[in-house]
Structure 1
Amino acid sequence: MKRGPQKPQAAGAPDAVLQELRPGQSVELLQELHILTREGRLNQDSRRKLKQVYHLFQFIEALLRELPGEGEGATLADHGAGKSYLGFIIYDLFYKARAGGRIYGIETRAELVESSRALAVRLGFERMAFLNVQAADAADAPGMPERIDVVTALHACDTATDDAIDFALRKDARAIAIVPCCQAEVAACLRSAKAQSLARTPLAELWRHPLHTREFGSQLTNVLRCLYLEACGYEVTVTELVGWEHSMKNELILARRKGAGRHSAARRMQAILAEFGLEALLGRRYPRAAELLG
């Protein structure tokens, strides 16, 4: 494989650290990402970060291997890529050994996009592209293919997760893997109508206190996302990413496209939104479900 300009060989890692890495993992890459120190050591914060990425990679690898040719030639979009830890590690462990396929990192901060582009060149990761674009605009961005096989988002904050789902639907993604973060939109809607809700239903006690409003809003947001994906023809699984001691933002939503949209899921969405006074979200946040309902 053709590689860009090479740096001096990176220092190795101690045997105890190597045992924590996935087989085939590049020590040089982890040092470039500052997950490992230049001496090849791993601090507690980096160990937590790496554990999260490795766990998510296991799920994504399974989704990729379910594609034709066991993922040979698969396209993947990483929303809210940040420093692209996830994208680089997926490329290193899965794409590097294959002749085809491409990863697209989507990030709003220009300096992170530029540093990721430079790192991809240094490492010879030729089938990685990085786009400096808002998540909501990514589907129409220049250089983005018409279809994407797998869409992932690790801790895309609040409605950026919904933008990633919308992107996946527009790109007819075969599979989706998202770890939501900091869901605030639904909580804000619940908060604004709290007095009316308390007068209308005893269920409003579930979000009467501010802490409960935040947590219940987060739970409700993810339930609605799962129903929306089902309404759009996906089979959905919800699980933990890692143990709660490693991250409080720990819910992993996996979706595999199975067929036509499901009216029953759209109707359940509509009923839940009505129950909690959130009807205005249907057309704005879940347009395909609104279409199914006519």
Structure 2
Amino acid sequence: MKREDLESIQAWICEVKSLKRVVVSGRRKSHLPRYQRIDIRPVMIRDEIQLQLVGHDGKQDTTKNFKASEFKVEELLDDGYANLLIERIDQTLTIRITKQGNIKVHRSNTVSSDEVDLDHDHKKRRVLPPSDPIFTALGISSSKGDLIPKQSDKYRQVDDFLRIIESVEKDLGTDSISIADLGCGNAYLTFAVHRYLSRKGVQVKVVGVDSKAESRARNSKISEELAIENEVEFVASTIKDFPNRKVDLVIALHACDTATDDALAWAVKGGAKVILVSPCCHHELNKNLKAQDEESESIFSNGIMKERFADLLTDSLRAEILKLHGYRTNIFEFVSVDHTPRNLMIRAVFTGRKGERSKYEKVCTKWQINPYLAQLLD
């Protein structure tokens, strides 16, 4: 790259009073940049305009703030990025860096607003604000409605889960919804889901099930404090022993090992419209899984690799079994691994269209396994 080209790009970005945003993306041949994309924009921090860089690696975002005098575009480009979009008040510059390192620049007029947003802390829309009374009752927020710092991860987890509820509302209906939270623990999600749907005018009945009697007592007390004891009840029972009933939505987050299978089987037998399950540990399949060929022996010789493979295989087969019972399923990360390492979610929506059994059976035959969930539903 020519020195004068780098100096021009540096100046275009560091004239912060005229800058709207920068997008850095793509990669040059034989390079592997740290981030898939970087967004840069001017922000006001302590009465000084600085540059905020947000790097996206596909899993999480990393944010750093720089004074304009400290920012070095050369270091950024040396990482191997191929494209820069620099949007200024007066013009937009599209920059492409060739595999030979040459810089091609295209200029065009900026057609968007001249206003530059210098807010350094963009507020994310929250499904339920921290000031909602349920968060005070649950010990997540103070009596004044302010989020307690050490509870911020729990609050984000609840907020992310409510966004998943938003995604399945159309599958649940709008008049009345019955919900079972299996393995509810301290019932953060139980109360949050009830509150969210009730605020929309939906008639909601929720039962929270947990094996610990002290959890039932604590949660029932909170339910009474919130004057919703007729809508939210709690039962002390294992999932396996809890009598089946017809519900629209089944929730089970971090039910340990085969308790996740108990929750899934309970939901299927009860004809749940929607199932949202986040598995925890996966011991059952791991202890029965054996290498079937030389390739798998190389994986299974390392305990942690075998464990992770068993985790993925367990959840994949759970999803396939749900398909065989008429559910549309997908598995995704529902919260950043920064907040909890157990961050996979199985989402299943009943459609009545059953999946192909032969594919599932081939996997079971290959690994000589009979998943516990399949045994529960036989």
- Is residue 2:359 matched to residue 1:268? yes
How far the C-alpha of 1:26 sits from its partner, in A, is: 5.2
Corresponding residue for residue 139 of structure 1:
243
Tell me, in whole angstroms, the C-alpha distance in 1 between the residues paired with 2:338 and 2:167: 25
Contact 2:179 2:249 in 1 (8 A): yes
How far the C-alpha of 1:40 sits from its partner, in A, is: 4.1
Tell me, in whole angstroms, the C-alpha distance in 1 between the residues paired with 2:143 and 2:130: 16
Corresponding residue for residue 3 of structure 1:
none
- Is residue 2:349 matched to residue 1:231? no
| Worse-superposed segment, 234-243 or 167-176 | 234-243
Partner SS, residue 87 of structure 1? helix
Corresponding residue for residue 226 of structure 2:
123
Seen in structure 2, the aligned counterparts of structure 1 residues 138 and 94 have a Cα distance that, compared at 3 Å, is: same
Seen in structure 2, the aligned counterparts of structure 1 residues 121 and 97 have a Cα distance that, compared at 3 Å, is: farther
Superposed, which structure 2 residues align to 1:282-293 within 5 Å?
282=371, 284-287=372-375
CA RMSD of aligned residues (A): 2.4
Q: Which amino acid aligns with 2:227?
A: G
Contact 1:176 1:254 in 2 (8 A): yes
- Is residue 2:352 matched to residue 1:247? no
Partner SS, residue 206 of structure 2? strand
Contact 1:64 1:74 in 2 (8 A): no
Name the structure where helix makes up a greater proportion of residues. Answer: 1
Partner SS, residue 243 of structure 2? helix
Corresponding residue for residue 10 of structure 1:
none
Partner SS, residue 157 of structure 1? coil
Q: Which amino acid aligns with 2:269?
A: R
Tell me, in whole angstroms, the C-alpha distance in 1 between the residues paired with 2:240 and 2:373: 12
Tell me, in whole angstroms, the C-alpha distance in 1 between the residues paired with 2:128 and 2:302: 48
How far the C-alpha of 1:234 sits from its partner, in A, is: 0.5
Tell me, in whole angstroms, the C-alpha distance in 1 between the residues paired with 2:313 and 2:284: 11
Residue by residue, what CA displacement relative to the aligned partner does 1:245-274 show, whole Å, maximum 9, x if unpaired? 222111111111011433x2x322222122
Contact 1:152 1:177 in 2 (8 A): yes
Superposed, which structure 2 residues align to 1:1-294 within 5 Å?
22-23=127-128, 27-38=132-143, 40-68=145-173, 70=174, 72-98=175-201, 100-125=203-228, 126-140=230-244, 146-190=245-289, 193=290, 197=291, 200-262=293-355, 264=356, 266-278=357-369, 281-282=370-371, 284-287=372-375
Seen in structure 2, the aligned counterparts of structure 1 residues 235 and 97 have a Cα distance that, compared at 3 Å, is: closer
How far the C-alpha of 1:178 sits from its partner, in A, is: 1.1
> Which is higher, the Rg of structure 1 or of structure 2?
2
Q: Aligned residues, how many?
A: 256
Seen in structure 2, the aligned counterparts of structure 1 residues 164 and 211 have a Cα distance that, compared at 3 Å, is: same
Tell me, in whole angstroms, the C-alpha distance in 2 between the residues paired with 1:133 and 1:23: 29
Tell me, in whole angstroms, the C-alpha distance in 1 between the residues paired with 2:322 and 2:124: 38
Residue by residue, what CA displacement relative to the aligned partner does 1:100-159 show, whole Å, maximum 9, x if unpaired? 22011010000011111111111111300111111112234xxxxx31101111111111
Q: Which amino acid aligns with 1:247?
A: T
Tell me, in whole angstroms, the C-alpha distance in 2 between the residues paired with 1:204 and 1:139: 42
Contact 1:239 1:251 in 2 (8 A): yes
Residue by residue, what CA displacement relative to the aligned partner does 1:64-108 show, whole Å, maximum 9, x if unpaired? 34333x2x2110111110010001111122125536220110100
Seen in structure 2, the aligned counterparts of structure 1 residues 274 and 33 have a Cα distance that, compared at 3 Å, is: same
Partner SS, residue 279 of structure 2? strand
> What runs of 5+ residues in structure 2 fail to find an aligned partner?
1-120
Seen in structure 2, the aligned counterparts of structure 1 residues 232 and 204 have a Cα distance that, compared at 3 Å, is: farther
Contact 1:183 1:221 in 2 (8 A): yes
Normalising by structure 2, we get a TM-score of: 0.62
Corresponding residue for residue 4 of structure 1:
none
Contact 2:131 2:144 in 1 (8 A): no
Tell me, in whole angstroms, the C-alpha distance in 1 between the residues paired with 2:124 and 2:305: 41
Seen in structure 2, the aligned counterparts of structure 1 residues 100 and 42 have a Cα distance that, compared at 3 Å, is: closer
Identity %: 24
Tell me, in whole angstroms, the C-alpha distance in 2 between the residues paired with 1:114 and 1:64: 30
Contact 1:151 1:173 in 2 (8 A): yes
Name the structure where strand makes up a greater proportion of residues. Answer: 2
> What runs of 5+ residues in structure 1 fail to find an aligned partner?
1-15, 141-145
| Worse-superposed segment, 22-31 or 87-96 | 22-31
| Larger RCO of the pair (alpha carbons < 8 Å, separation 6+) | 1
Normalising by structure 1, we get a TM-score of: 0.79
Seen in structure 2, the aligned counterparts of structure 1 residues 187 and 44 have a Cα distance that, compared at 3 Å, is: farther
